[in-house]
Structure 1
Amino acid sequence: MSGKKRKNAKRKSRLPVAVRSKKPLSSRMGVWLFEIFTFIVSALPLGLVLYNGWHFGLVLIALAYLVTALLTVHVTQQWEKVVVLRLGRFNRVKGPGIFFTIPFLESAALRVDQRIIVTPFSAEEALTADLVPTDIDAVLFWMVVNPQKAWCEVDNYPNAVSWSAQTALRDAIGRINLADISTRRSQLDSELRETLSAKTSDWGISILSVEIRNILIPENLQDAMSREAQAQQESNARVILAEIENQIAELYVEAAELYRQDEIALQIRMASMVNESVKEGGGNNLIVVPSSFSEGFNAGTMKDLKDLFAKQG
């Protein structure tokens, strides 16, 4: 398998099942049954003529009646509109339901589906502003709002919409850097919708939304970007840790200054530490303290320690 075929197979495998499968056909059974019924009814005079005996004049009249009936009566579905031409010029838009045309003078030129149409499109190897090739898949939601313009202004409007969407996507990708594609995805969708709306409004087509579905970049570049993001996260973590240590050091400096100014506060803190050690050891720990520590237990300090121990239970 050639490289191009492998790439196309890989792209196809990335598409969801709904996109890879064929477009579901709309049920036209009612229209077909009506046309069959019209044909049978219109062919009855011809059948009677042939049954009762062949006559050239009557056969011609019956054939003319059959063709006239088939060219006169038409039926459209609920979601369809039909552009009717009279002698090659636009005359009116009919549908849904039954409508009539003048045989040989008028014709139903185009049936327009006015439901929302979903068109997947892509930009393969589109270069970003920093010259990085990317493959981008997107989905376009649109509908025909003016059948007259869709018939008169552009030939094969579904293909025109698809190609316009692909061109607009390539232009939008070429104006931004690779790092901005993911962060500006919603903004990029809005820009594409506005660009396509301005281009297709004259075609009688309304662009409902554009949604970027997938962004692929070269594998080696993915690894580089992953390492860069990891390094950035580690750098941020180190900065946060340094800031926290700096705040703790400042608190220690403030506490040391407080203890330096108030010896009673220092003695209470030391007694509290002793009390916590005793409670953690269940009263079985041997605690060694400097001899100068006992000098702090004077009458005034003992009262403060008594209050402290009472609060701690």
Structure 2
Amino acid sequence: MEYSVPLVILVIAVIFISQSVKFVPQQNAWVRERLGKYHSTMTPGANFLIPFIDKVAYKHSLKEIPLDVPSQICITRDNTQLQVDGILYFQVTDPMRASYGSSNYIVAVTQLAQTSLRSVVGKLELDKTFEERDVINAQVVAAIDEAALNWGVKVLRYEIKDLTPPK
């Protein structure tokens, strides 16, 4: 009976410490909210939270992320339909903006990639689209990157996987 009070205090202290220390893995960033409002971004290593006041709201990988952009039909300047399939490579550069800048930055980047690709291909004739893949890739990256900075995302490159001409 004489050890019950110190034992309870010890158990509470262990629970408190286990809830306060969080280890963020390398190449990750976690967004901390304090009482429901953005407080800070937790960097790799040991981080301390105030239990019941702080919480980890979002977890982001800072690695390069490949994103398969769905295949789509684009119409060239000479009114020919062309099926285009591509991959977008991007990286989260600002975890706070990635968390709060868009409801879903992955969907936003995908939609913008599709729209930009249709716009770029629409300015070229069918023959030029096969010859100027690098130009198309660069123009798509430039168009996406401008808007994606507000979402905390940096577009690294876009690669056309497949250009399928009409049958």
TM-score (norm 1): 0.49
Q: 1:146-157 residue pairs with structure 2 within 5 A?
A: 146-157=94-105
Q: Go from structure 1 to structure 2 and tell me whether the alpha carbon gap of 1:67 and 1:159 turns closer, same or farther (over 3 Å shift).
A: farther
Of residues 149, 154, 159, the one that matches 2:107 is 159
Q: What is the root-mean-square deviation of aligned Cα atoms in Å?
A: 2.3
Q: 1:201-216 residue pairs with structure 2 within 5 A?
A: 201-216=149-164
Number of the residue aligned with 1:77: 25
- Equivalent position amino acid for 1:99 in 2: N
Number of the residue aligned with 1:11: none
Number of the residue aligned with 1:90: 38
Number of the residue aligned with 2:82: 134
How many residues get paired? Answer: 165
Give per-residue Cα distances to partners, 1:103-122, cap 9 Å, x unaligned: 11111111110011111213
Please give the alpha-carbon distance, in whole angstroms, between the structure 2 residues aligned to 1:160 and 1:64. 44
Structure 1 unaligned runs (5+)? 1-48, 220-313
Q: Which structure has the bigger radius of gyration?
A: 1
Number of the residue aligned with 2:92: 144
Please give the alpha-carbon distance, in whole angstroms, between the structure 1 residues aligned to 2:122 and 2:16. 57
Large movers: runs of 4+ above 4 Å: 61-67
Please give the alpha-carbon distance, in whole angstroms, between the structure 2 residues aligned to 1:181 and 1:211. 13
Query: Are residue 181 (structure 1) and residue 129 (structure 2) matched?
Result: yes
Q: 1:123·1:169 contact (CA, 8 Å) conserved in 2?
A: no
Q: Go from structure 1 to structure 2 and tell me whether the alpha carbon gap of 1:67 and 1:175 turns closer, same or farther (over 3 Å shift).
A: farther
Give per-residue Cα distances to partners, 1:80-110, cap 9 Å, x unaligned: 0111111111111112011110111111111
Structure 2 unaligned runs (5+)? none
Question: Secondary structure of the equivalent of 1:202?
Answer: helix
Number of the residue aligned with 2:138: 190
Instruction: Please state how far the C-alpha of 1:67 moved relative to its aligned partner.
Output: 4.8
Instruction: Please state how far the C-alpha of 1:217 moved relative to its aligned partner.
Output: 1.5
TM-score (norm 2): 0.87
Question: Secondary structure of the equivalent of 2:137?
Answer: helix
Give per-residue Cα distances to partners, 1:207-241, cap 9 Å, x unaligned: 1111112100122xxxxxxxxxxxxxxxxxxxxxx
**Greater helix proportion:** 1
**Greater strand proportion:** 2
Q: 1:9-20 residue pairs with structure 2 within 5 A?
A: none
Question: Secondary structure of the equivalent of 1:154?
Answer: coil
Give per-residue Cα distances to partners, 1:245-270, cap 9 Å, x unaligned: xxxxxxxxxxxxxxxxxxxxxxxxxx
Q: 1:122·1:135 contact (CA, 8 Å) conserved in 2?
A: no
Instruction: Please state how far the C-alpha of 1:130 moved relative to its aligned partner.
Output: 2.1
Please give the alpha-carbon distance, in whole angstroms, between the structure 2 residues aligned to 1:139 and 1:183. 19
Number of the residue aligned with 2:62: 114
Instruction: Please state how far the C-alpha of 1:64 moved relative to its aligned partner.
Output: 5.2
Number of the residue aligned with 2:116: 168
Identity of aligned residues (%): 25
Of residues 97, 105, 124, the one that matches 2:72 is 124
Number of the residue aligned with 1:103: 51
Q: Go from structure 1 to structure 2 and tell me whether the alpha carbon gap of 1:66 and 1:180 turns closer, same or farther (over 3 Å shift).
A: same
Question: Secondary structure of the equivalent of 2:97?
Answer: helix
Q: Go from structure 1 to structure 2 and tell me whether the alpha carbon gap of 1:63 and 1:157 turns closer, same or farther (over 3 Å shift).
A: farther
